[in-house]
Amino acid sequence: MKLSFIFIMIWLIIPCSLFADQSIKIGMNYPQTGPYMLIGIDQERGAQLALEEIFATGGILGRQIEILRKNSKSNPDLSALNIIELIDQKKVKMIFGGSSSSVAIRTSEICQKKSTLFMATVTSANATTGKRGHRHTFRTCYSAWMGGKALGIYLKKKFPSEHNRYFFIVANYSWGRSAEKSIRKFSGAENKQIHKVSYTKFPGASRQSFINKMKLAKLLKPDVLVLCHFGADMTEGISVATKLGLKKDMHVVVPILELSICETTGPEIMEGIIGTSDFNWKVP
């Protein structure tokens, strides 16, 4: 129902004179491959559910919706080309997509210049609707600040930074860095001399890079290990941490617990992981 409501927003930008038999074109720019592919699949499924609901009621003012898809590959430069093509050549009236916050931010900038609505379906960087936000951009998920506050309050109570050392392993891009900053602020682990950090490449972090980071964590022996990763990278990081036995010696934290990622990672590996999630109807 939420996606159906979002699609209705396009009424605001379609002149009444154009309400004829032609379909309304919507652009979707999401990762069909790469580390955030699973999140891209979820976006595709959500779009199909929304389309079924809209088609069942006769469309929008009698007009059907046509979705034009592009593979972002979680790459902001490629996404910029995708968005320009969708708006200028394909004449879409609205853009959906995200997953990588760097992609969402770049998309937002282009949509603002071209006066096109953009629904950032998955992006948790604070900047998306903060410092780099635009009037044409909307988001559906919580920001790193919101998640960091919820998580940080819990961590500060259970593992106060005065008595526990934190170690952050962070995806080096907009969301990873903003997640780190937010969790540090609300947990009290802001002193980087005490609570150290190591960054991984995004996109393109290799399994060996995660092995190296986890070996460093094993050497540093923190009380709390914070993995600011998402998608396949989160799965890789937690899997390596479990294999090296880190979960026996430290508490492992991730900023976002997404159902599809948790299912792919598996219950044994996810057991004991601390994180946040948006509202779920299965939670009492």
pLDDT of 2 > 90? The answer is no
If one compares 128 and 145, the residue with the highest pLDDT of the two is: 145
The predicted pLDDT at position 5 comes to 47
Is pLDDT above 90 for 118? yes
Segment 164-187 shows an average pLDDT of 95
Out of 18-22, 180-184, 195-199, 257-261, which region has the weakest mean confidence (pLDDT)?
A: 18-22
What is the model's pLDDT at position 44? 87
Length of the chain, in residues = 284
> Could you tell me the residue ranges of all domains in the chain?
2-139, 144-276
What pLDDT is attached to residue 244? 95
What's the mean pLDDT in 115-135?
Answer: 86
Per-residue pLDDT reduced to its tens digit, 96-108: 988 788 899 999 9
Long-range contacts at 186-192 (CB < 8 A, ≥ 24 apart): 186/148, 186/149, 186/151, 186/152, 186/153, 186/155, 186/156, 187/151, 187/152, 187/155, 187/156, 187/159, 187/161, 188/152, 188/156, 188/160, 188/161, 188/162, 189/155, 189/161, 189/224, 191/161
Contacting residues for 276 by C-beta, under 8 A, at least 6 apart = 142, 147, 150, 151, 255, 256, 257
For residue 114, what pLDDT is reported? 95
Which pLDDT score, from 0 to 100, does residue 18 have? Answer: 46
Domains 2-139 and 144-276 share a fold: yes
The residue to which tokens 């009290």 are assigned: 188
H or E segment at 81?
helix 76-84
Quick check: 137 pLDDT over 60?
yes
* pLDDT surpassing 70 at residue 173: yes
Please, are residues 123 and 101 in contact by the beta-carbon 8 Å criterion? Answer: yes
pLDDT(17) > 50: no
- Per-residue tokens: 7: 């699609």
Give the pLDDT mean for 138-155. 91
Q: Which CATH architecture has domain 2-139?
A: 3-Layer(aba) Sandwich (3.40)
Given this model, what pLDDT does residue 282 score?
67
**Mean pLDDT over each residue of the chain, to the nearest integer:** 88
The identity of residue 190, as a single letter, is E
CATH class of 144-276: alpha beta
Rg (CA), the chain: 20
